Chain A
């Protein structure tokens, strides 16, 4: 994972920055020279510590509220300078059977993952267009391409992000904003505990179950997914527009 993409001096907003993947993305981008604005829920555990460790700026927001998103972007710009990049990574998942899941729980996942990402992309793109360009990376999911049992809302929201990315790739590139997505397979983050809980097994057990179904024989590390984010933000991917990269260890079911 010795990516070489340089993001020297660029200002990148990362949502879901305190999460397992989010904090690794912040670290990776900071190492590549980016100045990072960390967006997560007010009071998200470790957010201040992660920000301090990457020399970044905390800009708390609930991304499902467009006003909060706008003010977070404004704080990022005031504190760090014009925003050149966005990593729309924030997500919420609640596993549950179709027949049991409460509509509020279903809706909350759509509200954060899909609508929240829309708010974030819109607020960031408006600034990027004004200043002549930028790059957006949307973190979707393998499950948004394949679907997954007990993840109806999560999969639907992530599938929505794939279509959103394709649309924004077409719509925003002529304005200088390059939009792409990642649809990662299972990543070794604390999120695995959510799945483990739903399946009634331990985190180690659920990780082994996932690994068995992946041709590569293991789940992804946060660092290798963060490396893909960095590539898509950097000029090294300048010919890539509206695409969905799928680091999934070879799961042949997934084709965006």
Chain B
């Protein structure tokens, strides 16, 4: 199950996992190229539960959940409206919470499963003009670390991948993150690609058996 499967990191993760033999149920507001495309809003708990039940009925037990659904907007702190803050929290923290609430009991009953939550380098380091996004992603990291130790005894492994500035549709063509003067400050000198983020997800899935509650950050050196 990949949330946010229709674009950016979710789309790249879906493609890479499919190439490795996984069958993917994609959950997104938009239609995706997953094996099973489910359209729902991750912030709606009942809709997520229904989508996950449908995915299991169609494709079988969910062995892996990757949560990529999210949105990004840069807003000065004093201009963040209540609705903006609410939506940021509902999609990122609520979305992860809803997806985990739906899959954890299923994985627990089978004694195994893996969850990889996409967070953000901004959730580690913070960012100028990113207060509500960074706060939501920081909460995602704290949720991952807490859930990880709570469910590891049930055979479920939870970790996070925290991308740095990434070349996805979340960054508009005029985004300051694309400005050459910013890119020059990155040790890698460029944005990371959705494919690079997907590779970190794949690493955790295939070779991350001793990682529990860790946060791997392909961020071009933006946060070290």
| Residues of A participating in the B interface, judged by any CB pair closer than 8 Å | 1-4, 166, 169-170, 173-174, 184-185, 215-217, 220-221, 224-225, 227-228, 230-231, 236-243, 245-250, 252
Contact = CB atoms under 8 A, between A and B. Distances in A.
A138 B138 CA distance: 27
Interface stretch (B41-49, B56-64, B203-211): B203-211
Contact of B212 (A3, A236, A240, A248): A248
10 contacts: A3-B203, A184-B210, A185-B210, A236-B202, A237-B196, A239-B163, A239-B197, A245-B214, A247-B208, A250-B212
Interface of B: 20, 145, 148-149, 152-153, 163-164, 187-189, 192-193, 196-197, 199-200, 202-203, 206-214, 216-221, 224
Contacts of B199: 236-239
A241 B200 CA distance: 13
Given A236-B203, A239-B193, A215 B149 contact: yes
Nearest to B148: A250
A166 B224 contact: yes
Contacts of B220: 239, 241
B200 A237 contact: yes
A241 B149 contact: no
Q: Report, nearest first, the 10 A-B pairs whose CB atoms are least far apart.
A: A250-B212, A239-B218, A239-B196, A173-B187, A239-B192, A241-B221, A242-B224, A227-B207, A247-B210, A3-B207
B207 A169 contact: no
Contacts of A227: 207
Contacts of B192: 239
B222 to A, nearest CB: 9
B187 A216 contact: no
A239 B164 contact: yes
Nearest to A236: B199
A3 B206 contact: yes
Contacts of B189: 173-174
Contacts of A237: 196, 199-200, 203, 218
A3 B203 CA distance: 7
Contacts of A246: 211, 214
A256 to B, nearest CB: 10
Contacts of A173: 187-189, 221
B122 to A, nearest CB: 15
A92 to B, nearest CB: 23
B153 A224 contact: no
Given A2-B206, A228-B207, 11 more contacts: A173-B187, A215-B153, A216-B212, A220-B210, A221-B210, A239-B200, A241-B224, A243-B224, A246-B211, A247-B208, A249-B210
A160 to B, nearest CB: 16
Given A236-B203, A242-B221, A225 B210 contact: yes
Contacts of A185: 210
A217 B153 contact: yes
A26 to B, nearest CB: 17
Contacts of A215: 148-149, 152-153, 212-213
